[in-house]
Structure 1
């Protein structure tokens, strides 16, 4: 697009908050996603780009798409979702795959209401929202009052009687004609009015029900309704519960962020402190388009990282994040953003900065491994191992490493058929992972590399499983005795101080540890004939 093209596109846009996307029709890709208080003014500013990177982006783009939002906060969260989904080249991108939840009313004749991260094109969508638990509480309350269905198409079709949701008052059962379409759509319209800002359309009947329960001395039910009413009012920003009071005494829960930038990659280290003690630390890699400042990296990281993560009471940073709406959003959700200059908090920020710089060595390992194996990158590696005792208590492990560090939230384990055949067990384990990935049933991203604990036999078994599933992921093996790397094309005998070997050894050893730990748990399980008797559980069994 040239200068006049940008101005022409901006002239037709509303002066309202929202998100804009510069797109390339030729490559069918989103090049850049941004947010704005005024879409018209922000897009018009791209007629005179401030940096060479943005000038190049505008030159490659041939169109602008926008989505209007109700508030600046919604624009901030929607921007984070779209960056995760499209991974635009000219944005700073966090390399995880979490996104903020949305609510959709589907385009069916009898619309379904549900929380989603990937809405259908025909759906009416609301959000995004920061607190999934709060959204689910509100949706349950809406269904109890208005009876909208939440079932899948498979469960909805061909029913001859209502399901349990009808019996417990969550659905009016349009599937069996218990409600006509006109009445059902009137309830849908009421739900749409709630998401449009009419809190009272849900809060008023809930408040009446709560008061009636209290008058009838049903105090537990009244308390539950009170808590849900708080959630409903906070959802629209009108209730006292919108900002949590937890941690006000001394801000007990802290996230401390540090930033290091090297080339096109940025690393944010996070230290998590509770009650004055460090209880967790992790590091996260972001892809940049080059030339980003630490403040800009923080401004991109904060809304992307806290998608479906619990917010702390305070976030400490080495400098103020640069990003429209970031500080206002944190203030709205009750998070104190501070840039300490001295004292204990400044010491914590210095420690986070040191942790961020440590990843440069890890990045060197992953680059060295990718170059040695001829891969485009090796940032995400999954390691597999099998553990058993003579063919009994057979289990498998699947551990994940990202940028050289364990990603324990992505660890998986599996019981395998009892068979004293290491090759068959490895084939079974990798086939399970590959089938889930191909079918889209595994919520983790595909790895850049699979590492098999073993030699040529285990690797061949794993590659057979991968090929049968049609999963396009490379695999290698690392044999314990000689520490020799086995690939489909041959073997590597790297020196003991090779950084790429150190990385593989960490993945292999962790897969072995995790498999061994699970094997011991399964092996030591105690069962008796009483386990097969219905109604006899852990409490009853000792008395028999």
Structure 2
């Protein structure tokens, strides 16, 4: 069905379109939206076409993603089907064919390669890509050409089948180099009988099907037969093949699991990008992985969430949406193994439709055990690595920095010098409290500018007081430098020195020490200026404390942003809290800006945790005491710790024992003994 865009209503849709929507049947089917340029916008399926499609036109959706799509709809087409399974299959065939703007779309990759064993008296093993036929034997598909070639090398090494072209094979008068290095049995010059070569071919095919034990048994039977006939050379050759095959099985972790052919599917979503990693197991052998990166993820997720609301169905996680889209699109025209292992549960409806389409009963498991669990864990790790690579290549740090600047409505003079400082507090039940400050500039973390601050003089466990102390100590001098600048704005009266008093224990590794006056924010100078953005790990309480400090120092409150953990403290649900009175903002788990904020926040947390643990260890075992002894430098300290196994060992040693350490005199040994006692 189709409509022409003639009379247009005030809402922007033609009367014919709205009339067609009102006349839709309450049956299962597939619908397509087109814009005025006849470009397909979205393909969807529904149990009830009338209910689903009419929901798009019943209210104003504003400037949301779904609203932008609906505003472009100029024409509608629908197809009624007999069942939901038919609707699912038709929907994904159309998605793959039409490439709609608001559907998750996987690129139609070129066909998979196979390992082919040709028919004939002396069959050849070869790499093959294309349509298969019944004349030859095909094994695979394989995830990559490299995986096929590796398997061919394995077949040559263990079963010594030929790989040369027929024209070369027919014109050989002496064996080639492959025969000399024991990678071929020389059938081209009749150095092996057709019957023995056929046995090798059958063994190779059985191995590729995963029948490894049967192959070993067959080789052993042939070896014993040669031995009984006193053909010891041939028996020794077969023994060497068995040894080589056993070694290969051990190296490649070939498993005798019940399902020999399995596809393992793991999905990861981050920063508006997604990766589905497909790992293939054929004949019990893990052949390799191939990553797939869908497009239109964010737009499609918005439409899917809208559809779920209409159906009063629980919202599907984005990972599940991506995984189901991949399964539905990928296996169109591609052989499906009887077992699928998935990182997230997929709908039974989808698996049944896939079985119906292929004629093979397919099972899907998302919580496997034993060997299949190991396969899934490998696939998940590869998905993470491939997505990280994609984000590094396509989602450059420059783009993420720009996304953050735009999301927070900032206006730095130069994006390349945009500077973020993030603070976090860490302690164990109030013990060894430390604050960390990490720096992001030039589109990357600047670890040389990280600082740690020992926090003392507060009630143990009072994170608000700790945040107040570290912010005051960090920015008091910078605020004073800004006031001393001739063109600086006159500040609010403030007793900066009182705020900035450091504890006696403040001078720790990496902490900021007294420095020359620093330039104000925006004037350049790298670390010698105030940051463009100050992130604090916490919600309204920490932001309020930061606001008090900045107000007292006469600094711009708009640069303070708190990172408040979302519901269930789940990553991707964080909200941003502002010190200048703006409403808090949720950027969305796919937001590149939120991904950058989370990266900076997590780095601050890591840096604080490591510093806190090191300080706590020094407090508990007295490790810092060696560092404070005059005359004991890094080398002497290392020799002492190595000799006595730690600070406690040094403390329990006598003066005479300490003096035996290289570089430690009797006088220094007495000084060390007194300091530790």
TM-score in terms of structure 1 length: 0.36
Structure ranking higher in strand proportion: 1
Larger radius of gyration: 2
